[in-house]
């Protein structure tokens, strides 16, 4: 059920999208919530009593690689059974309609690509990527992994190909993301608590370049005040209504 005032705001955003030259979309775990994937900080953000945030750290991996691999293997097996939801499909459809569009995602589940989005920038890496802790070897695989996967080239321990807290984003990813957001005339921010940097600062980049900023999220965030429009509700309901 979408409230009256929300519908009025959505009509305005819909009209803006139909005339947009370049749309940039920043997504977080909330866009995959309706696919059945637990968000990072929601009530379901726990895993066996551990906060996902504590497990996504290099020091946790160094201390207890088995536990971190158990967490990531659990997420890989869960996400492998999940499908893109109407939010992902609406974004893929929007990309076909506007002259230029990129999705800058904090998610590592690969569901935007699975829904057919072509220009996806993965800021925090991917669940399906593995990288060696010693040599430069990396691989993409959806195969089930042993408790401590080893590098096929040098035999050392592999780690999940994701960016953990305190780690730099992959080379070049940040500049490509900033370029996309600084040249967009509309920034959609979908399903993120806007707590993690540097993604949480992107709204300021968009505001400085004069883009219209729209937050689509279940609840208000620390960035809601910087948005031109705050559409609070489910991404799987709001996005299809904006794009249909």
Which run of H or of E encompasses 216?
A: strand 212-217
CA distance 61 to 38: 21
Residue 116, judged by CB atoms within 10 A of its CB (0-12, 13-18, 19+), counts as middle
Whole-number minimum distance, CB 156 to Zn ion, in Å? 5
Whole-number minimum distance, CB 151 to ligand BV8, in Å? 20
Is 148 a binding residue for Zn ion by CB under 5 A? The answer is: no
The answer to whether 66 and 148 have CB atoms below 8 angstroms apart is yes
What does each C-alpha distance from 179 to 110, 126, 182 come to in angstroms? 22, 21, 5
Q: Which residues bind ligand BV8 (CB under 6 A)?
A: 28-30, 33-34, 39-42, 45, 56, 106-108, 124, 162-168, 191-193, 195-198, 217-219, 221, 234-236
Candidate residues 20, 111, 121, 132; the one interacting with Zn ion per rule CB under 5 A: 132
Is 157 a binding residue for Zn ion by CB under 5 A? The answer is: no
Q: Is 119 annotated as catalytic?
A: no
Residue 29 touches which of Zn ion, ligand BV8, none (Cβ within 5-8 Å per kind) = ligand BV8
Candidate residues 137, 182, 207, 226; the one interacting with Zn ion per rule CB under 5 A: 137
Residue 172, judged by CB atoms within 10 A of its CB (0-12, 13-18, 19+), counts as exposed
Is 138 a binding residue for Zn ion by CB under 5 A? The answer is: no
Residue 135 touches which of Zn ion, ligand BV8, none (Cβ within 5-8 Å per kind) = Zn ion
The answer to whether 82 and 109 have CB atoms below 8 angstroms apart is yes
Residue 24 touches which of ligand BV8, Zn ion, none (Cβ within 5-8 Å per kind) = none
Strand partners, 121: 104
Residue 136 touches which of Zn ion, ligand BV8, none (Cβ within 5-8 Å per kind) = none
Residue tagged active-site, from 112, 124, 137, 204:
124
Whole-number minimum distance, CB 23 to ligand BV8, in Å? 18
Is 139 a binding residue for Zn ion by CB under 5 A? The answer is: no
Which residues does 96 contact at the CB level (< 8 Å), separation at least 6?
none
Question: 3-class DSSP state for residue 45?
Answer: helix
Residues that bind Zn ion (CB under 5 A): 132, 134-135, 137, 151, 153-154, 156
Give catalytic residues, as residue numbers.
Answer: 124
């Amino acid at each position: 059920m979408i409230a009256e005032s929300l519908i009025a705001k959505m009509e305005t955003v819909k009209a803006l999208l139909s005339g947009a030259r370049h749309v940039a979309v920043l997504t977080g775990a909330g866009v995959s919530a309706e696919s059945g994937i637990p968000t990072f900080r929601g009530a379901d953000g726990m895993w066996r009593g551990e906060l996902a945030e504590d497990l996504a750290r290099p020091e946790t991996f160094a201390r207890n690689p088995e536990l971190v691999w158990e967490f990531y293997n659990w997420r890989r097996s869960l996400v492998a059974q999940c499908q893109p939801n109407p939010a992902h499909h609406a974004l893929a459809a929007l990309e076909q309609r506007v002259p230029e569009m990129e999705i800058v995602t904090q998610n590592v589940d690969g569901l935007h690509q699975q829904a057919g989005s072509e220009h996806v920038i993965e800021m925090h890496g991917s669940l399906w990527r593995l990288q060696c802790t010693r040599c430069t070897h990396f691989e993409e695989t959806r195969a089930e992994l042993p408790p401590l996967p080893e590098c096929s080239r040098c035999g050392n321990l592999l780690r999940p190909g994701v960016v953990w807290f305190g780690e730099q984003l992959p080379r070049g990813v940040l500049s490509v993301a900033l370029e996309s957001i600084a040249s967009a005339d509309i920034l959609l921010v979908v399903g993120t608590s806007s707590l993690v940097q540097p993604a949480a600062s992107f709204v300021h980049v968009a505001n400085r370049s004069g883009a219209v900023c729209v937050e689509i999220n279940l609840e208000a965030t620390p960035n809601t005040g910087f948005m031109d429009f705050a559409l609070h509700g489910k991404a799987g309901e709001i996005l299809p209504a904006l794009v249909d």
